[in-house]
A and B are shown apart, each in its own frame.
Chain A
Amino acid sequence: MATETLTPQSIYGQVKKAGLTRSQKRTLTFYTLVLPWIIGFIFLSVFPLVVGLLTSFTNYDGLNLETIKFVGTRNYARAFDDADVSFSLMRTVLWGLLNLPLWLVVSFTLALILNQDVRGRGIFRTIFYLPSLIPATAAITAWRIILERNFGMLNNFISLFTPEPIAIGWLSDYSLQGMTGVALWGGLGSGMIIFLAGLQGIPDELKEAARIDGANGLQVFRHITLPLMTPVIFFQLVLGLIGAFQQLNLPLLFTRVGIASASVPPRPIYLYMIHTWSQIMDQGRYGYGTALLWMLFIGILILTGIVFWSEKYWVYTGATEEGGK
């Protein structure tokens, strides 16, 4: 074989003799390389999802497999009668409505300002990113100094401007607003970085050209920057939406750390996932809890579907269609 001259045909022939064509070999290599992920995907994602789905049709209590019974769709029907489900769902929607637009607008604004050639840009960027580094547990221990009802720093500060000292319960009656503050504080940095990356991808020539044509700053923003940023806004909106609906960590920490080890979250932050969590962890209603999880899953899929459907109305995709880079 070594004496054969190397032509493409002969190489092909040799590979063929080994039993596999080059493209078959490449296929095999590809699947070998992605195997760890495939195994993980099957056993750690698909399998739990299916087990969760199956559990949702039973009365499983987390302990006894002997007494487990198939109950059909009873758990799902029950959710519609559970007043706490509709209440917590409303709170979750409210949480998303308060939190998401605020986060998008503020982090986009900060990115826009930092995209100008401001002095000390690196320092500001670092400061804005800093809170994103701080884990929620530590963040809450710091934030309760600010949000505490009596003598908390925020109420102290507001009282400077009011005739009487005020005592707003940012950790209790107004915990939804308090929690929005914490979430916004922790999320601005990562939001801003993504927007900044998007802004830096907008070619300067486009803005230059618009300016030469007589557009002012606002017009450049309205007609160049904003349309070109819609894919990034879309991306952030999808991830933010999913994050808002599965929020569990913050209300849990607000309860256990914020108001010194309360066992039940204050009603304003009794979010959907808190209700689900307490059904499973506190009440041992695994069947019902997993049904609630699957309803959340389907709900999020529908919402994401709607956002994806709306994409064609407001997200700019022109550049790729016209074959530009």
Chain B
Amino acid sequence: MDAQRSGWLMKRISRFLGYLILILTSLVLIAPVFFMVVSSFKVDAEYLSFPIRIFPKIAQWQNYKLVFTMTPFAKIALRTALLAISTATITAFVSSMVGYAFARYNVPGSKRLFGIVVAMLIVPFIVILIPQFILYSKLKLTNTYWPWILGALGGSPFYIFMFRQFFLGFPKELEDAAEVDGCGPFGIYWRIFLPNAKPVFATVMIFATNSVWGDYLTPLLYLSNSKTLLGVALTTAFRNPQGIEIKTVTLAASVLYIVPLIITFFLAQKHILKGVVTSGLKG
């Protein structure tokens, strides 16, 4: 009886500790975003002050106007979005097709090739990125968007892996039936596998779009200031005539920069979590 009671007490305490950890962690994780948003409404003199003032005296909505007038922010954002979405679309289609082939075709050499896909997951991207840059600059393709498009056309090992894991779970009968109905291999991929891979497709689309939208290194390497993407523009654009950064305007731009990401995440949250769970790990 006593052991049961203490067990019950332990359970209550561990439960309470669990919630405490969850709530404290949430607060810590939200803090930077919270400060980012409130400080984006401050004037630069209030950015950091002693004693601390968390909220601005008067909300400076004009910071958000300045974002658009100090740079062609809308134009850069549109350019970044277009590049991100087109790159992601290409990469998702190619990766799903390759992933389908790896999941369904057990032919001479297929296992070895898949071994290469997996090995590519652990090749540090930076070791390839810089020589790629040397090559593209010899081909006079720097300061264009070709490196993104050409890169997408080959698919990506990580996404190929995800699709393959997902397709492995598809019942064999489905494609047998389609084959009897006269569907070719591409038809089976296009009409049966792809339409049934929506969670993974959505996940890959979002991951791939975000990775271009949020990228700093690649645009820094490839593009001049007049052609650059949002990730780099954010760090260089908002300066006064003396060249000193206006930090609160940078913050306002940062808020605008992350809002689309957060909205898409909320819209697709279910898909993403499902996509990761069903494809990321099995096998």
Contacts and interface: CB of A to CB of B under 8 A. Distances in A.
Contacts of A73: none
A197 B280 contact: yes
Interface in B119-166: 120-128, 130-132, 134-135, 137, 150-151, 153-155, 160
B151 to A, nearest CB: 6
B131 A139 contact: no
A283 to B, nearest CB: 14
B261 A133 contact: yes
Given A127-B26, A290-B130, A138 B258 contact: yes
B128 A45 contact: yes
Contacts of B32: 131, 139, 142-143, 145-146, 185
Interface stretch (A11-19, A85-93, A294-302): A294-302
Contacts of A152: 48
Interface residues of B, number: 90
B250 A141 contact: yes
Contact of A48 (B131, B247, B254): B131
B102 interface: yes
B168 interface: no
B102, B130, B189, B247 pick with most chain A CB within 10 angstroms = B130
B273 interface: yes
Nearest to B94: A36
A110 B25 contact: yes
B217 interface: yes
Contact of A296 (B39, B101, B124): B124
Contacts of B125: 246
Interface stretch (A76-84, A94-102, A247-255, A309-317): A247-255
Interface stretch (B63-71, B107-115, B194-202): B107-115
B18, B122, B266, B280 interface centre (most CB from chain A within 10 Å): B122
Interface string B85-112: 0000000001101101110010111100
Contacts of A51: 131, 134-135
A114 B105 CA distance: 38
Interface in A256-278: 256-257, 260-261, 273, 276
A109 B25 CA distance: 11
Given A194-B276, A201-B281, A133 B258 contact: yes
Contacts of B280: 194, 197
Most buried by B among A118, A133, A152, A245: A133
Nearest to A113: B18
A134 B130 contact: no
A180 interface: no
B30 A44 contact: no
Contacts of A245: 124
B29 interface: yes
Contact of B281 (A34, A142, A194, A273): A194
Closest 7 pairs between A and B when the two form their complex, measured CB to CB = A40-B154, A135-B214, A52-B131, A33-B101, A142-B36, A30-B105, A48-B131
Interface of B: 14, 18-19, 21-22, 25-26, 28-33, 35-36, 39, 47-50, 52, 94-95, 97-98, 100-102, 105, 107-110, 113, 116-117, 120-128, 130-132, 134-135, 137, 150-151, 153-155, 160, 185-186, 189, 210, 213-217, 220, 231-232, 234-235, 244-245, 247, 250-251, 254, 257-258, 261-262, 265-266, 269, 273, 276-277, 280-282
12 contacts: A26-B105, A39-B153, A62-B137, A128-B26, A128-B29, A134-B33, A134-B214, A135-B257, A137-B232, A201-B282, A290-B130, A293-B127
Interface of A: 23, 26-27, 29-30, 33-34, 36-41, 43-45, 47-49, 51-52, 55, 62, 109-110, 113-114, 116, 118, 124-131, 133-139, 141-146, 148, 150-153, 156, 165, 185, 188, 193-194, 196-198, 200-201, 217, 232, 235, 238-239, 242, 245-246, 248-249, 252-253, 256-257, 260-261, 273, 276, 280, 286, 289-290, 293-294, 296-297, 300, 304
